[in-house]
A and B are shown apart, each in its own frame.
Chain A
């Protein structure tokens, strides 16, 4: 048995033991997300326009993560709408920023891995980069939207008379509670993955100026900062959607 299969089985058993039915759906959502991600690569390889792939895969991954992560429809529908809006805004920002930064494709540090490869594949690496950056932020947006939405659903259930203003304020208050740990999750998630690259930079004594203009470093920083922005935008957006959907969440 390969290590990946064994680790997957361990994860499955643990998830079911800890979470029961919910643990099982959580595992299934991970599998589905993997499938859709891989399918997105294959679609782009078959020259399907990357932006189209980004939007459809993005919507599917958000739906899988949100609707399979939680059963309460009052929470999930709000979270789903909010994350769709935030993702749309983010894609615009990503296109603008990546156009300015021009960090598509590979850096000189990748040369070793590219040896013997034909890199002129006739697919715009710029568009692929938009896909990559968008996909990497989706999880964070979905998670933040669900946290805010769940908190507000709770408030609406216990205080159905709360005004829209109070709801917005409570949404921001919940946001303040989660922002510290959420930013840490993203920081460690991204920095953990790039430990080797940073050791490379430090070991070869790259100057600050070189690092700040390095293609791979800038691409990575853009991903981190864009997901920070995504999470920050999610907080008021979710609260706002909740005020629009309040009659469906907690009928007076």
Chain B
């Protein structure tokens, strides 16, 4: 089997991917000419003074000075050396400690009497994304073959659609957010499932079930929002908001749960199609019940997948709130309430989808049972 596994085309693929990966990594470490901002490489690091800091919450930290001798890698002064100073702390929240060989962005690059001066403006990290993306492609294609290629394609197509929707949203100045991202959700579902399942009856059934499930969940949640007057939802705590937060939050929630509902729907529908194939005379009730039993075993883990994704991102800021003397309750409200609402709404979507998808599949495939 091993000989079979390492068939010729796999070896060729491995070779090609390794070459592409090496080329991409080489490019990202030598692409400074394509940047407008000045980039320099650290050649020497001289440690400077250390200062102890503490705040009213008894948090103790140390601030370190370092003098960096750097060589410019682009701009007109390419190849010239200069020294810049940098401050970093033990905890490194917004500052960074630089090491020899690091590439960094400079700002305020000025030349006075032939001496260059500049400020440190950030670390160059494009190579990391390229490397990880390459690793994902390598694993996907080597392990999963054509299924991996299709999965990759669907992720790439969805990224492009996502960017297009954001451009449309900005053209509309943030109005009709729900309309734009609601339609996007429908397009996402159809495109992803077309790529994964192909243009089949199964795909149509899964897409219809996903869309019904996701939007019903949002409807139910909006009803709950209405009844409780959105008490305890702090839209003002939403991060990076440049538009009206509420519709944006609902759009985020809708998109966030879409993938999970799609995942579950395709599992249930696939099982129902299989049952139908094994026994064409299968009744609707039987189909519905088997759909439900598939669904109830995957819904728990799926809700946890989304929960961990949504909540992990609130971890760092929650920690900061606690270390700033805030109560546990206030920390939760200001950092985690939106993530919790998002998890719960997605959870409702995932659970509601089980009977909806099973019922839909049963209606589509099952024979009417006469009573």
Contacts and interface: CB of A to CB of B under 8 A. Distances in A.
Among B93, B192, B340: residue with most chain A CB under 10 A: B93
A192 interface: yes
Nearest to B122: A213
Contact of A193 (B162, B313, B316, B355): B313
A66 B350 CA distance: 18
B168 to A, nearest CB: 10
A139 B307 contact: yes
A193 B252 contact: yes
Interface in B263-313: 263, 266-267, 270, 292, 295-313
Contacts of B163: 198, 202
Contact of A119 (B144, B310, B320): B320
A123 interface: yes
A222 B128 contact: yes
B220 interface: yes
B259 A188 contact: yes
A199 B126 contact: no
A68 B256 contact: no
A150 B271 CA distance: 14
Interface in B82-139: 89-94, 96, 105, 122-129, 131-133, 135-136, 139
Contacts of A188: 158, 188, 255-260, 262
A183 B157 CA distance: 13
Given A2-B232, A192-B252, A185 B312 contact: no
Contacts of A11: 344, 347-348, 351
A14 B348 contact: yes
Among B243, B259, B304: residue with most chain A CB under 10 A: B304
A170 interface: no
Given A184-B262, A192-B253, A121 B320 contact: yes
26 contacts: A2-B228, A11-B348, A14-B352, A19-B299, A33-B308, A41-B319, A69-B304, A118-B57, A120-B63, A120-B91, A128-B315, A139-B301, A139-B304, A142-B301, A179-B140, A184-B151, A184-B192, A193-B313, A195-B252, A212-B126, A213-B105, A213-B125, A215-B122, A215-B125, A218-B125, A236-B143
Contact of B94 (A105, A128, A133, A175): A105
A131 B315 CA distance: 9
Contact of B126 (A19, A104, A187, A213): A213
A64 to B, nearest CB: 8
Nearest to A209: B35
A118 B59 contact: yes
Give the size range of A's interface with the partner.
35 or more
B69 interface: no
Interface stretch (B13-21, B41-49, B234-242): B234-242
Interface of B: 1, 34-37, 53, 55-57, 59-61, 63, 89-94, 96, 105, 122-129, 131-133, 135-136, 139-140, 143-145, 147-148, 150-152, 154-155, 158-159, 162-163, 166-167, 169-170, 174, 181, 188, 192, 195-196, 220-221, 224-225, 227-233, 238-243, 245, 248, 251-260, 262-263, 266-267, 270, 292, 295-313, 315-320, 322-324, 328, 332, 336-337, 340-345, 347-348, 351-352, 354-355
Given A69-B301, A143-B301, A195-B251, A34 B129 contact: no
A29 interface: yes
Contacts of A179: 140, 144, 147-148, 151
Contact of A180 (B174, B195, B355): B195
A33 B295 CA distance: 21
Given A6-B227, A139-B304, A189-B260, 14 more contacts: A4-B344, A7-B224, A26-B300, A114-B320, A118-B56, A119-B91, A125-B93, A187-B158, A188-B259, A192-B258, A196-B245, A199-B240, A218-B128, A229-B139
